[in-house]
A and B are shown apart, each in its own frame.
Chain A
Amino acid sequence: MASEGGATGYIVHHLTPLTVGEGFWTLHLDTLFFSALLGGLFVWFFKSQADKATAGVPNLTQNIAEMLVEFVDGQVKDTFHGRSELIAPLGLTIFCWVFLWNFMDLIPVDLLPLIASLMGMEYMRVVPSTDLNATFALSLSVFFLIIFYSVKVKGVFGFAKELTCTPFGPWMMPFNLLLKVVEEIAKPISLGLRLFGNLYAGELIFILIALLPPLMQPLLSFPWAVFHILIITLQAFIFMVLTIVYMSMAHEDH
């Protein structure tokens, strides 16, 4: 907590990532580390459950894994009516990974930065979803998948036709194209910004609460944390559902 410059300094310090490199080639080590760690946690948990998966009576952890799988599978089946090996696992990965990112928000704001500073790291921002790079990495990957599957399902020509000839027919081609391009690009941007905005604001509130007198803090941080349990799940859910919706739109052939 090497805070200098009072409250503003404290806030800025908390929201500054640990970096290496210069310019575009800067790497946010904390974001990379924590998201990889959480991704590893997710993969480890589900892999161990998948190895144990039997048709017999499931135990508690297996139940949890199966509940999540069935939940995602249900969401996919509600929205997407084709056959795809990718969409459901993609949805599960997004839901769990984003949830775990967001969950870092509930760890006391000073705890991990304090440990990091004891280890000699000056900055530590532990919630990957407060990093635009992380949220845009997800939404851009989804965007590329949307483009890929649009071309794959409809063909280059079909996709080009959809971009230029809908919704107003071939005579309004430039207008259609503009509309469609905006529509397509709005998808990843809205996905990424929504998650980032919600979690960044949430984290900011936690930091602000941490600036209050110690006795006041639990009164505010407790209800905010409870509310945040809803927010983090909801944001992960929204990201997943929108991904599924976009992917199924990419699969739809008009």
Chain B
Amino acid sequence: MSINATLIGQMITFTLLVWFTMKYVWPPIMQALEERKSKIAEGLAAAEKGQEEIRLAEKKAKKVLKEAKEQASEIVSLAQKRANEVVEESKGNAQKEGERMIQAANAQIEQEMQQARESLRKEVSALALRAAEQILQQEIDKAKHKDIINKASEQLG
């Protein structure tokens, strides 16, 4: 158990090891650790930011949806109103058209009745004349009684 030159050799080895560690081992590892630390911090911050953004987006989406729903119901009620109007309008139109058609039919009926009456009168007067002719065949001279015949037909007409 003696102290000897081994001590010096060991001290040299130790110095070399410490120097090497100090120069080539410690700084890169520490740097990597620091970098990772900041990376993790950045990641956490980003995640937090992302969540905040999601929250905002959800809020916005809800708002937009609500607006859209409101608009849609507005549109629907407007359309219903318009449909009611259209129905009312066409009802009115139909009624007017119907009345007009009835009037036209009535007018035509009237006209046809007039025509029938006219032709009937003509036929009746002709018949009456012929009957009268046959009755008075012998006595009545056409030329002589022209006035009477005309008068009668005038009365009949």
Chain A contacts to B: CB under 8 angstroms? 21, 23-28, 31-32, 35-36, 39, 42-43, 46-47, 49-51, 53-56, 58, 65-66, 69-70, 73, 85-86, 88-90, 92-93, 97, 128, 131-134, 136-138, 140-141
Whether A141 pairs with B14 at a CB distance below 8 angstroms is yes
Whether A131 pairs with B6 at a CB distance below 8 angstroms is yes
Q: Which 9 pairs show the lowest CB-CB distances between chains A and B?
A: A137-B10, A55-B35, A53-B32, A133-B6, A89-B22, A50-B28, A89-B26, A28-B6, A26-B4
A133 vs B2: C-alpha distance in the bound complex, in angstroms? 8
Whether A31 pairs with B6 at a CB distance below 8 angstroms is yes
Q: List 16 A-B contacts (CB under 8 A).
A: A24-B4, A27-B4, A28-B4, A32-B10, A35-B10, A39-B16, A43-B17, A43-B20, A53-B32, A54-B32, A86-B18, A86-B22, A89-B22, A128-B10, A137-B10, A137-B11
Whether A51 pairs with B28 at a CB distance below 8 angstroms is yes
The reply to whether the CB of B25 lies closer than 8 angstroms to some CB of chain A is: yes
Whether B28 pairs with A137 at a CB distance below 8 angstroms is no
Produce 1/0 per residue, B1-37, CB < 8 A to A: 1111111111101111110111011101111110110
Whether A132 pairs with B14 at a CB distance below 8 angstroms is no
- Give the interface residue-count category, chain B: 20 to 34
User: Which of B13, B18, B21 is within 8 Å of A46, CB to CB?
Assistant: B21
Q: Which residues of B contact A24 (CB under 8 A)?
A: 4-5
User: Which of B4, B29, B36 is within 8 Å of A133, CB to CB?
Assistant: B4
Whether B21 pairs with A92 at a CB distance below 8 angstroms is yes
In this complex, what residue of B is CB-closest to A28? B6
User: Which of A23, A85, A90 is within 8 Å of B4, CB to CB?
Assistant: A23
Indicate whether A66 sits within 8 Å of B33 (C-beta atoms), given known contacts A24-B5, A89-B21, A132-B1.
Answer: yes
A105 vs B30: C-alpha distance in the bound complex, in angstroms? 31
Whether A26 pairs with B21 at a CB distance below 8 angstroms is no
Cβ distance A154 to chain B, nearest Cβ, rounded Å: 23
Cβ distance A136 to chain B, nearest Cβ, rounded Å: 6
In this complex, what residue of A is CB-closest to B36? A55
A212 vs B5: C-alpha distance in the bound complex, in angstroms? 36
Cβ distance A132 to chain B, nearest Cβ, rounded Å: 6
Q: Which residues of A contact B20 (CB under 8 A)?
A: 43, 47
